[in-house]
Amino acid sequence: MEGNWYEIQNDHEIATPALLVYPDRITYNIKRMIEIAGDVNRLRPHVKTYKNAEIIRMQQAYGIHKFKCATIAEAELLAQCMAGDVLIAMQLVGQNVTRFYELVKTYPETRFSTLVDDLGHAKLLSDISCQNGLITPMWLDINVGMNRTGIIPDKSAQELYKYLSVNKHIQAMGFHVYDGHLRDSDFEQRKNQCDASFGSVLQLKEDLSAQGINVDTIIAGGSPSFPIHALRKDVELSPGTVLLWDAGYGKRFPEMDMQVAAVLISRVLSKPVEGIITSDLGHKSIAPEMNFPRIELLNAKDLEQVSQSEEHFVFKTNQWESYKIGDLIYGIPMHICPTVAKYQYLQVVKSAKVVGRWKVGARGQKISI
């Protein structure tokens, strides 16, 4: 009799807690991502979820050549994988400015770009680009209501993009628009909200066009708004979580039809009092910023998540007698992106066995640059 899809037969070889990944399911998600996009050339997936060379190469095998990332380390990992086009979607500040230009010179086969939302900072980057004898590809980061980064698409945004367009040390690439605050589980509601916020972006593009300044490309959205922006013409798409998926997005966005491709495995390590069991899945092993539940349990569904500390996860159960020390607990993290960063390696599962491991190569701030 076959077991559940997530179960492994050689668990005695794996130290817990561990993060299991399933390449066949990742492949399914890549194909599904391309299907939603309609054209592989529209995709610029974000690597922040997995930070891993093998998953980058899996996408490249399907024709994906543009990527988005958040750190210099992620950008360097992409360059080591011979990615052709890499956007660092964080405004460069401090030492990261110097590191960016070192990256550009070290990996000339990759085109690196970055973004900006402030005129004064754009002038600083222009000066440094000049000092390095380079022309820096740069995107205008637009705030459509998330109020985390970006410039409001008004007259000041027009002035900033004009500056990028005429500056001889900058190549104006287009707009970068992230609407991660739009997460309504009802697709039509989410679409209406997304379309409304995107209207201001299109108006900005139109206003610039009237002044003789063309905006060639718009990069829009993340995983929640990915299927909506896919309905537009001439928009690049940058989902990230879709590669591994998680319980949080799985519950909110079932219409995307992605498969969970990463599972946490832990073990019961104590039964300190009747009705309580404790596993070894602490803060250090799963993203702790979520409210309970932080994990969707797959095989121990009677457990109620009570508390968590650095090394321990405490559960209540009315089936206390049925648990033994060392029993396995499988679960899907509610938030996969910061969970991956807690692991040095992903444990690779094929045919119900862990057959190897993939290094989370960009989990730290630095690889070599």
Give me the residue spans of the domains in the chain.
11-18+261-359, 24-240
Sheet holding 66-69, edge to edge: 66-69, 85-88, 111-116, 136-142, 170-177, 217-220, 235-237
Contact criterion met (CB below 8 Å) for 152 and 176? no
Residue 217's closest CA among 200, 205, 207? 205
DSSP 29: H
| 123: pLDDT strictly greater than 90 | yes
pLDDT of 187-244, one tens digit each?
Answer: 999 999 999 999 999 999 999 999 999 999 999 999 999 999 999 998 999 999 999 9
Does the fold of domain 24-240 match that of domain 11-18+261-359?
no
What kind and span of H or E run contains 316?
Answer: strand 313-316
Contact criterion met (CB below 8 Å) for 357 and 346? yes
* pLDDT for position 167: 97
Which of 1.10.600.10, 3.20.140.10, 2.40.50.140, 2.40.37.20 would CATH assign to domain 11-18+261-359? 2.40.37.20
* pLDDT for position 236: 98
| 66: pLDDT strictly greater than 50 | yes
Residue 179's closest CA among 225, 133, 136? 225
| 120: pLDDT strictly greater than 60 | yes
One-letter amino acid of 350: K
* Tokens linked to 286: 């799963």
Taking the C-alpha atoms of residue 246 and residue 365, their distance in angstroms, rounded to an integer, is 24
Class of domain 24-240: alpha beta
| 73: pLDDT strictly greater than 80 | yes
Residues 6+ apart with CB under 8 A from 36: 226, 227, 230, 256
| 2: pLDDT strictly greater than 80 | no
Average pLDDT across the chain, whole number: 97
* pLDDT for position 1: 42
Contact criterion met (CB below 8 Å) for 356 and 349? no
CA atoms within 13 A on the CB side of 143: 14
Taking the C-alpha atoms of residue 15 and residue 269, their distance in angstroms, rounded to an integer, is 13
One-letter amino acid of 175: F
Q: What percent of the chain has pLDDT over 70?
A: 99
- Prediction pTM value: 0.97
Count Cβ atoms within 10 A of the Cβ of residue 40 and give its class: 0-12 exposed, 13-18 middle, 19 or more buried.
middle
Contact criterion met (CB below 8 Å) for 219 and 176? yes
Residue 283 vs residues 296, 307, 326, 340, 359: alpha-carbon distances, Å: 16, 10, 20, 13, 21
Residues 6+ apart with CB under 8 A from 109: 79, 82, 84
* pLDDT for position 3: 84
